Amino acid sequence: MSRRRASLPSVALGAHVWGFFLFLYLPIVMLVVYSFNDNAVSMMTWNGFTFDWYLRVLANLGLIDRARDLAGSDNLQLYSDPNLGPAAVNSLIIALSSAGLATVVGTMTALGLARCRFPGRVAYRVALFLPIVIPDIVLGIALLVFLATLGFPLGRVSVILSHTVFLASYVAVVVGARLAGMNTQLEEASADLGAGPWTTFRRVTLPQLMPGIVGGFLLSVVISFDDLVIAYFTCGVGATTLPVYLFGAIKRNVSPEINAVSVLMILTSMLVVGAALWLRRPRQHKTEA
Q: Which burial class, exposed, middle or buried, applies to 186 when counting CB atoms under 10 A from its CB (0-12, 13-18, 19+)?
A: middle
- Among residues 190, 205, 232, 265, the one that binds other proteins under rule CB under 8 A: 232
Q: Is 230 in the site for other proteins (CB under 8 A)?
A: no
Distance of alpha carbon 111 from alpha carbon 216, whole angstroms? 14
- Among residues 132, 208, 247, 264, the one that binds other proteins under rule CB under 8 A: 247
Q: Is 258 in the site for other proteins (CB under 8 A)?
A: no
Q: Is 173 in the site for other proteins (CB under 8 A)?
A: no
The smaller minimum CB distance to other proteins, of residues 205 and 255, is found at: 255
Which residues, other chains included, contact 169 with Cβ-Cβ below 8 Å and sequence gap of 6+? Answer: 106, 128, 129, 130, 131, 132
- Among residues 99, 231, 242, 249, the one that binds other proteins under rule CB under 8 A: 249
CB of 71 to other proteins, least distance (A): 12
Q: Is 141 in the site for other proteins (CB under 8 A)?
A: yes
Which residues, other chains included, contact 179 with Cβ-Cβ below 8 Å and sequence gap of 6+? Answer: 110, 111, 114, 209, 212
CB of 244 to other proteins, least distance (A): 7
Task: Supply the DSSP string of 221-266, one letter for each residue.
Answer: HHHHHH--HHHHHH--TT---HHHHHHHHTTS---THHHHHHHHHH
Binding mask 20-59 for other proteins (x = CB under 8 A): --------------------xxxxxx--------------
Q: Which of 256, 162, 173 is nearest to 216 (CA)?
A: 173
| Radius of gyration for the chain, computed over Cα atoms and rounded to the nearest angstrom | 24
Q: Is 78 in the site for other proteins (CB under 8 A)?
A: yes
Q: Is 62 in the site for other proteins (CB under 8 A)?
A: no
SS3 of residue 188 by DSSP = helix
CB of 152 to other proteins, least distance (A): 9
- Among residues 16, 28, 30, 75, the one that binds other proteins under rule CB under 8 A: 75
- Look up residue 177 and give its amino acid: A
- Look up residue 144 and give its amino acid: L
CB of 248 to other proteins, least distance (A): 3
Biggest CA-to-CA distance, the chain:
75
Q: Is 15 in the site for other proteins (CB under 8 A)?
A: no
CB of 96 to other proteins, least distance (A): 19
Q: Which burial class, exposed, middle or buried, applies to 166 when counting CB atoms under 10 A from its CB (0-12, 13-18, 19+)?
A: buried
How many residues make contact with other proteins (CB under 8 A)?
42
Q: Is 83 in the site for other proteins (CB under 8 A)?
A: yes
Q: Which stretch binds other proteins (CB under 8 A): 9-17, 178-186, 188-196, 239-247?
A: 239-247
Q: Which residues bind other proteins (CB under 8 A)?
A: 40-45, 74-78, 80-83, 141, 144-145, 147-149, 153-155, 232-233, 235-240, 244-245, 247-254
